[in-house]
């Protein structure tokens, strides 16, 4: 499944938020624009707030002993106050990753109600005057008082009802002296009957984390109100136009209404009972990739050949436990993943049904036939 790939941010720096959460939300797309800043170790950088270049209470050095300046600023203890259960994930190394001038740190958690949640930290130290001016000009950003020399918040994703906003994303951008702090706080669609996230609570937790990390300026913290949660996502994405929610629902015999989660090259329908075996436990995903040359020249895709679909098609099936590493509530019934890959001219399309097979419902073999029949109806 191409899960959670819509970290939205309506600025030229939206690639940063995506890049820092790619490993977490599997979702995540990475057309990476770089965060601003100059090179140099954060622990010794001189700045207007730290003229000697030595470590201070709010500096990015050695506060938690992780070695990462970003993680030492927003420590695991601070992150856990933002969202209980957040723990460090990924390569939170002392060095700046290739292609970025910011020190990065990422935290993640997962629950049956909230799905995946991520808090990312990007610290640019020292930053140039041009980089600071760019940060202060962040578009669609509501001012925050009480943090650094400048701070503002963005709410993106389905807080604004954006067509590509399956995730809910609150981003804090702050400037203190010659340092820039960017903190995207991202949660996925509600799962297992969970409610939509509270944008005000997320914003307050995020800004308080910056204060706890030493970025407060002594004045009262004032956080602007979040926009109301937008309507369910709709889209004119051509990938979603290949199969409607009604077609998917009817093909597998589901009874619940699916949620539409559109991405840039994908479309996903998530039905409403992910922990209950049967067709209403289904996550149905489509991904379409275009190539400049014919995919037929690429190595053969594996799986069982399927005749009469595109130029070439294959079917594959696998199972995995519905445990902590899945995007579903833990349970005794394994997840069955059925996939059809289709090559047509310069297009490679993948249709995937992820379902908990019910002992009283269609078998895995019957579900396979339902998937193949549905894919046969698609015109690529």
CATH number, domain of 291, equals: 2.60.120
Average pLDDT over residues 256-285: 84
Assess whether 175 and 51 both reside in one domain: yes
Assess whether 145 and 103 both reside in one domain: yes
Average pLDDT over residues 338-365: 93
Assess whether 144 and 256 both reside in one domain: no
Q: Quick check: is 223 in a domain? A: no
Return the pLDDT at 271. Answer: 86
Q: Which helix (H) or strand (E) holds 354?
A: strand 347-356
Residue 330 to residue 322: CA distance in whole angstroms? 5
Q: Quick check: is 2 in a domain? A: no
Q: Quick check: is 296 in a domain? A: yes
Assess whether 314 and 265 both reside in one domain: yes
Q: What is the pLDDT of residues 12-47, one digit of tens each?
A: 333 333 333 333 343 332 222 223 332 233 333 333
Assess whether 130 and 275 both reside in one domain: no
Cβ 201 vs Cβ 170: under 8 Å: no
Give the closest residue to 58 by CA, choosing from 151, 142, 175, 170: 175
Assess whether 27 and 168 both reside in one domain: yes
Q: Quick check: is 228 in a domain? A: no
Assess whether 205 and 249 both reside in one domain: no
Average pLDDT over residues 246-263: 87
pTM greater than 0.75: no
Assess whether 90 and 209 both reside in one domain: yes
Q: Quick check: is 230 in a domain? A: no
- Note down the domain range covering 313: 238-376
What 3 state SS string does 234-299 have?
CCCCHHHHCCCHHHHHHHHCCCCCCEEEECCCEEEEECCCCCCCEEEEEEEEEEEEECCCCHHHCC
pLDDT of 336 above 60: yes
Q: What is the pLDDT of residues 181-213, one digit of tens each?
A: 999 998 876 665 567 788 899 999 999 999 999
Return the pLDDT at 306. Answer: 94
Residue 3 to residue 9: CA distance in whole angstroms? 18
Assess whether 149 and 39 both reside in one domain: yes
Q: Quick check: is 49 in a domain? A: yes
Domain count across the chain: 2
Q: Quick check: is 352 in a domain? A: yes
Assess whether 256 and 170 both reside in one domain: no
Assess whether 119 and 199 both reside in one domain: yes
Q: What is the pLDDT of residues 210-238, one digit of tens each?
A: 999 999 999 999 999 988 776 555 566 78
Q: Quick check: is 221 in a domain? A: no
Assess whether 157 and 300 both reside in one domain: no
Region class of 134: left (phi > 0), else alpha (psi between -120 and 50), else beta: alpha
């Amino acid at each position: 499944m191409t899960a959670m790939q819509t970290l939205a941010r309506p600025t030229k720096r939206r690639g940063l938020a995506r890049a820092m959460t790619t490993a977490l939300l599997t979702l995540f797309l990475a057309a990476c624009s770089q965060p601003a800043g100059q090179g140099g170790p954060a622990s010794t950088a001189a700045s207007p707030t730290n003229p000697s270049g030595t470590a201070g209470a709010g500096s990015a050095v050695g506060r938690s002993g992780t070695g990462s300046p970003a993680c030492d600023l927003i420590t695991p203890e601070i992150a856990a106050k933002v969202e209980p259960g957040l723990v460090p994930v990924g390569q939170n190394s002392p060095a700046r990753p290739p292609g970025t001038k910011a020190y990065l740190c990422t935290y993640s958690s997962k629950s049956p109600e909230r799905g995946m949640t991520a808090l990312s930290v990007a610290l640019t130290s020292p930053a140039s005057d041009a980089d600071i001016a760019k940060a202060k000009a962040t578009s669609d950003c509501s001012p925050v008082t009480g943090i650094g020399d400048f701070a503002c918040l963005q709410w993106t994703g389905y807080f604004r009802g954006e067509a590509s906003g399956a995730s809910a994303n609150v981003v804090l951008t702050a400037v203190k002296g010659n340092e820039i702090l960017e903190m995207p706080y991202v949660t996925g669609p509600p799962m297992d009957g969970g409610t939509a996230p509270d944008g005000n609570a997320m914003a307050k937790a995020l800004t308080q984390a910056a204060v706890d990390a030493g970025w407060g300026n002594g004045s009262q913290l004032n956080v602007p109100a979040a926009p109301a949660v937008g309507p369910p996502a709709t889209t004119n994405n051509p990938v979603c136009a290949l199969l409607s929610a009604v077609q998917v629902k009817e093909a597998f015999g589901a009874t619940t209404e699916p949620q539409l989660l559109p991405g840039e090259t994908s479309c996903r329908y998530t039905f409403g009972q992910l922990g209950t075996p049967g067709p209403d436990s289904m996550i149905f995903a489509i991904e379409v990739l275009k190539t400049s040359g014919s995919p037929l020249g690429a190595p053969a895709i594996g799986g069982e050949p399927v005749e009469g679909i595109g130029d070439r098609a294959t079917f594959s099936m696998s199972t995995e436990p519905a445990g902590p590493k899945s995007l579903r509530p833990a349970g005794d019934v394994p997840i069955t993943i059925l996939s059809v890959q289709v090559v047509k001219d310069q297009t490679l399309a993948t249709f995937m049904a992820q379902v908990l097979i019910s002992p009283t419902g269609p078998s895995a073999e019957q579900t396979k036939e339902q998937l193949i029949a549905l894919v046969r109806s698609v015109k690529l």
